Chain A
Amino acid sequence: MQKLLSSTCLAATLAIGLAGLAHGADYTPVTDARLTNPEPQNWLMTRGNYQGWSYSPLDQVNSSNVRGLTPVWTFSTGVDSGHESPPIVNNGVMFVSTPYAQVIALDAATGDELWRYKRKLPEGFSALHNTNRGVALYGDRVYLAGLDAVLVALDARTGKVVWESKVEDWKTGYYMTMAPLVVKGKILVGVAGGEFGVRGFVEAFDADSGKSVWKTYSIPAPGEPGSNTWEKPDTWKTGGASTWMTGNYDPTTDTVFWGTGNGSPWFGDQRPGDNLYTSSTLALDGATGKLKGYFQYQQNEDWDWDAMNAPMLVDFQKDGATVNGLLTPQRNGYLYWLQRKSDGGIGFLKAQPYVAQNVFKSVDATTGRPEIDMDHKPGTGKMAQFCPGLWGGKDWPYESYSPKTGMVYIPSNENHCNKFEGKVEERVPGQWWTGVAIPDFHFSVDPKAPFFGEIKTYDVNTGAPGWRQLYAHSMMWGSLLSTGGNLVFGGGTNDREFRAYDATTGEELWHSRTNSAIIAPPASYEVNGVQYVAVQSGYGVDAAYQETLLSELLGWQADVPQGGVVWVYALTK
C-alpha cells in the first residue's frame, strides 16, 4: 500500500531554484471554488475545466484578428522525447511538465524561468512512454505524477519537494504519465502499464499530507461485483484496465469519470469473459472511490482500443429536453452520447462511427454493446485485420467542445489498419506482455487514400457532421483547443505546424511553424489584459514511431526533429 518515502529519497530529487517567485507572496492559492469555476484568464487544469472541454472563453484573439498572432517568447525545455503536457497557468505563473518527470515554472508573460524540478529516476528504470501530460495545482502546491509511479507535491513558489508518496512499484510494470486530478482536497492519480499485465486502479491522496485516502481497482477481485466476467482463474490479477489518462469531474454529484485501458494480454481468448472494467468509463464517488456506475465500450478487448479518455461533461438536447450528458469520441472509432444519471451512474443513449470501422457489426440501441465481426477479432494463433488500427480513430489527444458553437472537434486518423495474431507468453513483471511483438503488428495504410489525419466536427445535439480538415501527408496527433474567439487551435501534424481554424467554418486562418511537431495540448490565458496562446512543441513516443512506419509505407519524413520548446503567442499590434 501507499507509504511516504524517506527524507533520503527526497534528497535524491533536484529542484533547481533560480529567482523563484520574486513575487512569491502574490501566488494565488488554488481552491475548490476556483477549480469548479475557473477564471477565463487562467488555465488551471489540463483540459481547462472539470468538464474536460479544452475550451477557453477568451476572445481577444478571434477569427477576425488571428492572422496577427505572433510568437512573443519561447523556452527550450532541454528535453527530448514526446512532450504531451499543456502549460498550466495560474495568475501569471506557468507550469509545464516534460518527459522524464520534470517541471518548469515560468513567468507566463515574459518566459523568465522561476524554478525547475528534475526527478531522478531509479537505477535501471525504463518506461514504455517517458512522457508526462501535465501537473495539477491545489493550494500553493504543484502535483506531479512521477514516471516511476511516485506522486510528488512541490511548493509552487520554489519547486521544492513538500512530500512524495509511492503509488506503486515501478519494477512490476506500473508507471504514471497523466496529470493528477484535484477533487476536494484529494489528489487523484491513475496508472499506466496495460502492456505489462498490471491491474489498474485509481487512487486518491490527501493533498496536504500525501497519505492515501482511497484506492479503487478497475478490475474486481473474486467475489466483488463484476468478478464473474473474468471466467478463467487469476486472469484478473494481470488483466490490465490501466487508468493512464486524467479523469473529469462533476462537482454537483461529487462523481469522478475515469477511463480504463485495454485488457492484458491483448488477446481476449486468453482471458475469457467480458473482463469488466477494461475499456470502460468508471463513475467513482469522489469522497470514497466507490463505484457508482460504468459503461464498457467493447467487451473482451482485442484491438488495444483503450477507453482511456474520460468523457466530456456536456449537456445536450435530446427529444426536446436537456440531458445531463457525457460525450466521448472513443479510440474504437465511435462517438458516444451517454447520460449522467442522478445516482452517478452512466446510461447509454446512442453511438455513431466517426471513422470507418470494420469490427462492430452494430451497436445495441438499448445497451450500447457492440456485436463483433469475428473475422476482424484477432486471437491466439488467429490472424485478423482490423480498422482503424490499434492507434484507433483517435488516440489520447483531446477533443474539444465549444459551448459557443455547440460543436465537438475531434483530432482523428483514418485509412489505417493492423493485422496480427497472438501467442501465449510467460509474464515477467515489468516487461512487455501483450502476446505479440511490435514488428509483428502489421500496421498498414491504404496507399490510395486521399488523407490520413483529419479533424472531424459534429453538432453535439443532433450528431450532424460539420466541417472537416483533411491531412493528405500526415497523421493527426494534436489535441485541440477551442476558444471564445470562434477559433480552434491545434498542431499534431508531421510538418511542425501550429494552426488556427475558424470554429464555425473550418477555414484555416493562421499557422506557425515550430521547432518540432506538436503532440501537446494548447492552452490559452491572459496576463495584464493580454491573451496568450501557448503550446509545447516536441515530437516523440507513439506519433514518432508511427511516422517511422509511414516513412516506409508512404515515404513520409522519417526524422521529424525532436526536442521540446514552449511557444507562446499573442497579438502584437
Chain B
Amino acid sequence: MGAGVALAPWLARPARADDPSELHPQPGDRLVFLTGPKKRQIIKPDDLPLGGPQFQAYPQSPDGVLRDGSRLNLLIVIRLDPASLSPTTLANAAADVVAYSAVCTHQGCPVNAWSEEQKMMVCSCHGSTYDPRDDAKLVFGPAPRSLPHLPLKLDAGVLVVAAGFSARLGGETA
C-alpha cells in the first residue's frame, strides 16, 4: 500500500449533535428508501425482493427527521434467505433483512451497485465487491475491511435500528 495511509480526516469529526440530520443512526430510527417507487417511504420487510438486489436507504428519526445530512449515513438494505446467512449476519438481521453501511471502506465511495451475476454488492469507484450473506466481507477489490453492520429489529412490522454501526465508518485515504 501507499505510504502515509491514514484515516480520512472527516472520520475524526463527530457527527454534529445540533443537527439531527447529521447524527448517525440511533436505536429506534426507521429506514427509508432513497430510490425506487417507494422513495422516502419507511421500509417494511415485504417491500424488499428476496435475494436482492440491495436498496439504498437513510435512517429517519421516529419524529421524521431524515438523517441524510451526512453521506456517512448512507445504508444498504437487502432481504436474503436466512439459511444463506452467516451467524453474525443472521444475528444482526430482522425479518431476513440485513443493513450495512453503504460507504466503501476503501475510499469512501457509495457501494451502490449490484452484480446480478455474482449476487454481490459492489463499489462503483474501484470495484470492491462485498458478500451480503457473510458480514459484507470483501470478495474482490482493494477495500481493506468489511462494511459495518447496522443491527436491525422489527417493531410493529417496521424495520428499526437496534444499535449503532458495528465498526468505524468510511474509507481510508492518504
Which residues on A are within 8 Å of B, measured CB to CB?
A: 76-81, 99-100, 120-128, 130, 171, 195, 426, 428, 430-432, 434, 437-440, 538, 540, 544-545, 548, 562-564
Contacts and interface: CB of A to CB of B under 8 A. Distances in A.
Contacts of A564: 2-3
A431 B124 contact: yes
A431 B56 CA distance: 11
Interface residues of B, number: 42
Interface string B102-113: 011001111011
Nearest to B104: A126
Contact of B108 (A79, A99, A125, A540): A125
Contacts of A126: 71, 103-104, 107-110, 125, 171
Contacts of B9: 120-121
B173 A437 contact: no
A80 B3 contact: yes
B13 A78 contact: no
Interface in B120-155: 120, 122-127, 129, 140-142
A97 to B, nearest CB: 13
B41 interface: no
Given A439-B129, A564-B2, 10 more contacts: A123-B13, A123-B72, A126-B125, A128-B109, A426-B36, A430-B110, A431-B110, A432-B109, A439-B127, A440-B115
Contacts of A439: 115, 117-118, 120, 122, 127, 129, 140
11 contacts: A77-B3, A80-B1, A126-B71, A130-B173, A195-B124, A432-B124, A438-B123, A439-B140, A440-B115, A563-B2, A563-B3
Contact of A99 (B10, B34, B118, B174): B174
A79 B2 contact: yes
Contacts of A78: 3-4, 174
B70 interface: yes
A293 to B, nearest CB: 35
A428 B2 contact: no
Contacts of B56: 428
A124 B71 contact: yes
Contacts of B142: 544-545, 548
Interface of B, secondary structure class, is: loop
B45 to A, nearest CB: 21
A77 B108 CA distance: 22
B17 interface: no
A76 B2 CA distance: 11
Contacts of B47: none
Contacts of A432: 109-110, 112-113, 124-125
A509 to B, nearest CB: 31
Q: Which 3 A-B pairs have the closest CB atoms?
A: A80-B2, A432-B124, A124-B71
Contacts of A562: 1-2
Contacts of B118: 439
Contacts of A430: 110
Highest count of chain B CB atoms <10 Å: which of A99, A432, A545: A432
Nearest to B140: A439
Highest count of chain A CB atoms <10 Å: which of B9, B171, B174: B174
A563 B1 CA distance: 7
Nearest to A78: B4
A181 to B, nearest CB: 27
B110 A100 contact: no
Contact of B113 (A120, A171, A437): A437
Contacts of B110: 126, 428, 430-432
A79 B4 contact: yes
A345 B113 CA distance: 41
B139 to A, nearest CB: 10
A464 to B, nearest CB: 40
Contacts of B115: 437, 439-440
A99 B3 CA distance: 13
Contacts of B2: 79-81, 538, 540, 562-564
Nearest to B102: A431
B122 A437 contact: yes
B5 A440 contact: no
Given A126-B107, A432-B124, A545-B126, A76 B112 contact: no
B63 interface: no
Given A80-B1, A126-B171, A428 B34 contact: yes
Contacts of B71: 123-126, 171
Given A78-B174, A130-B173, A438 B1 contact: no
A518 B42 CA distance: 49
